[in-house]
């Protein structure tokens, strides 16, 4: 057979582009090995792109995002809110933690106990001592494990179904899967971190919503559910 005859059949026609991007089912379009490779490359690209944004612009976006989260969570008195110590150009949520404390909430930081294991959350508020944990990430010096009511989860990338791409440790997914009660999980990031899909896998757990400087993203499935009910 001549080459040009086989070419018609070399790869099947792909209609994936016709699938509604709101489709939040698991990605069957790529094998995990390919998804994993793609995620590695996307993480590098997204981190490099956000670090290329001037620090003062990022800081301005961070303030807008923090205000958006505060508006979203409302009254936090009596609640435990976990945030994070920022690195690699993540929005700086330390002022947010101060604001939560000023409003009567308690704050916590995530702690990597061991690679491949769920995170722990430990109470920490501004001014309290920090020590260095795994990967030198600052963690509370005093160990006071807690169960947060709200978890703020910084994203490297996100998609319209509110799936989160992180740094590749699988920590938040493992943690949410292991917690006895599910906290409210708010992903936060710059709108430039948006991806059409992160190619969700069985282990990926979507955020309840994602707050960016350009607005709030809720899983599109919710939108169609609401439409279907009205």
Ligand X SMILES: Nc1nc2c(c(=O)[nH]1)N(C=O)[C@@H](CNc1ccc(C(=O)N[C@@H](CCC(=O)O)C(=O)O)cc1)CN2
Which of ligand ATP, ligand X, none does residue 135 bind to, with CB < 5 to 8 Å depending on kind? Answer: ligand X
> 128-133, long-range: CB within 8 Å, 24+ apart, which pairs?
130/85
* Beta bridge mates, 111: 120
From the list 75, 71, 94, the residue with the least C-alpha distance to 83 is 94
Among 169, 192, 194, 220, binds ligand ATP (CB under 6 A): 169
Contacts to ligand X from residues 81-100, by CB under 6 A: 84-87, 90
Which of ligand X, ligand ATP, none does residue 51 bind to, with CB < 5 to 8 Å depending on kind? Answer: none
As given in the structure block, the two tokens for residue 74 are 């409302």
Q: Which helix (H) or strand (E) holds 215?
A: strand 215-217
Count the residues of the shown chain that bind ligand X, applying the rule CB under 6 A: 18
Contacts to ligand X from residues 24-83, by CB under 6 A: none
Count the residues of the shown chain that bind ligand ATP, applying the rule CB under 6 A: 14
Among 177, 182, 215, 223, binds ligand ATP (CB under 6 A): 177
Which of ligand ATP, ligand X, none does residue 133 bind to, with CB < 5 to 8 Å depending on kind? Answer: none
**166 or 189, CB closer to ligand ATP?**
166
34 CB-near residues (< 8 Å, 6+ apart): none
191 CB-near residues (< 8 Å, 6+ apart): 212, 213, 214, 215
C-alpha–C-alpha distance, residues 184 and 181, integer Å: 10
Determine, following the binding rule CB under 6 A, whether residue 167 of this chain makes contact with ligand ATP. Answer: yes
Determine, following the binding rule CB under 6 A, whether residue 112 of this chain makes contact with ligand X. Answer: yes
From the list 204, 193, 200, the residue with the least C-alpha distance to 170 is 204
Contacts to ligand ATP from residues 31-90, by CB under 6 A: 39
As given in the structure block, the two tokens for residue 157 are 């990338």
**68 or 166, CB closer to ligand X?**
166
- What x/- string results for residues 171 through 190 when contact with ligand X is judged by CB under 6 A? xx------------------
Main-chain phi, psi angles of 157, to 5 degrees = -145, 160
Longest CA–CA span in the chain (Å) reads: 76
Residues that bind ligand ATP in the complex, under the rule CB under 6 A: 39, 165-174, 177, 203-204
**Residues forming the site for ligand X (CB under 6 A):** 84-87, 90, 110, 112, 115, 119, 135, 137, 154, 166-169, 171-172
């Amino acid at each position: 057979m001549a080459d040009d005859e086989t070419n018609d059949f070399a790869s099947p026609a792909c209609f994936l582009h016709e699938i509604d991007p709101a489709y939040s089912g698991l990605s069957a379009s790529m094998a995990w090995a390919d998804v994993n490779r793609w995620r590695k490359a996307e993480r590098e690209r997204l981190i490099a792109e956000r670090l290329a944004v001037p620090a003062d612009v990022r800081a301005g976006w961070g303030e807008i995002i923090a205000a958006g989260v505060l508006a979203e969570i409302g009254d936090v008195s009596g609640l435990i809110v976990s945030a994070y110590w920022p690195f690699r150009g993540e929005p700086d949520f330390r002022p947010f933690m101060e604001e939560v404390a000023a409003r009567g909430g308690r704050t916590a930081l995530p702690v990597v106990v061991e690679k491949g294991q769920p995170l722990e959350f430990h109470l920490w508020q501004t001014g309290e001592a920090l020590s260095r944990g795994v990967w030198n990430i600052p963690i509370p010096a005093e160990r006071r494990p807690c169960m947060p009511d709200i978890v703020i989860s910084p994203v490297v990338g996100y998609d319209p179904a509110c799936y989160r791409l992180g740094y590749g440790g699988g920590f938040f997914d493992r943690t949410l899967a292991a917690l006895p009660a599910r906290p409210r999980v708010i992903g936060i990031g710059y709108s430039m971190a948006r991806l059409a899909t992160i190619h969700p896998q069985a282990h990926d757990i979507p955020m309840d919503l994602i707050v960016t400087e350009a607005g709030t993203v809720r899983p599109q499935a919710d939108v169609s559910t609401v439409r279907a009910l009205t």
